[in-house]
Amino acid sequence: MRNNTNLDPIALEINWNALKSITDECFLTIMRSAFSTNIKERHGHSTAIADAQGRLIAQAENALPIHLASMVGLMRHIIDQYGSSIAPGDVFIGNDPHVAGGTHLPDINLAMPVFAEGRLVGLVANIVHHADVGGAAVGSMSGGLDEIYKEGLRIPIARLYSEGKLQDDIFRLLL
């Protein structure tokens, strides 16, 4: 069977490794700059790159599979919810398992669109397991809860930065 694509296998491999390197460097930067032992010691964080439809392209070598599913869910929800209003400099945040592709409330996702020549070409994202996001028990982890609201701060997808400008009302809510 003949392959009719014009892909250069060498260029493909170089680009693939470049994308993997970006996610690995982002992973290490988060780990090195963190104060939380959840991140520094337990490596409770992940990084990834997705295409313009939110499909996973590359992930950090040490990324957690459950985090990847969450980030892909977040990116697809961002595209569905914000669509053509997504702009360079936007940053989105979310942790809600029901409307933001999250896993549980302590895992907070951030995603930023990537543009080339004015066109959305992908998104970069990270997720970090936070020690406490409020809720019924210290550490935001307790069994026997019958409502998600008892688990802590529930963040639907929100635009934390709009075209590079911090959305102060969202920021104050989170603080």
- Within the chain, strands assigned E span 45-51, 56-59, 91-94, 107-116, 119-129, 158-162, 165-166
What tens digit of pLDDT does each residue of 54-101 get? 999 999 998 888 888 888 888 999 999 999 999 999 999 999 888 887
Local confidence band at 104 (pLDDT 50, 70, 90 cut-offs): confident
Mean pLDDT of 144-160: 86
- Count of residues making up the chain: 175
Residue 120 near residue 52 (C-beta atoms within 8 A): yes
**Spatial CA neighbour of 128 closest among 88, 54, 50, 70:** 70
How much is the average pLDDT of 97-116? 88
Domain ranges of the chain: 9-174
146 or 84: which leads in pLDDT: 84
125-138 pLDDT, tens digit per residue, is 999 988 888 877 77
Longest dimension (CA), the chain: 61
**What is the rounded distance in angstroms from the CA atom of residue 107 to the CA atom of residue 136?**
17
What confidence tens digit (pLDDT) does each residue in 1-53 have?
455 578 899 999 999 999 999 999 999 999 999 888 888 888 889 999 999 99
CATH class name, domain 9-174: alpha beta
Contact 56, 92 (CB under 8 A): no
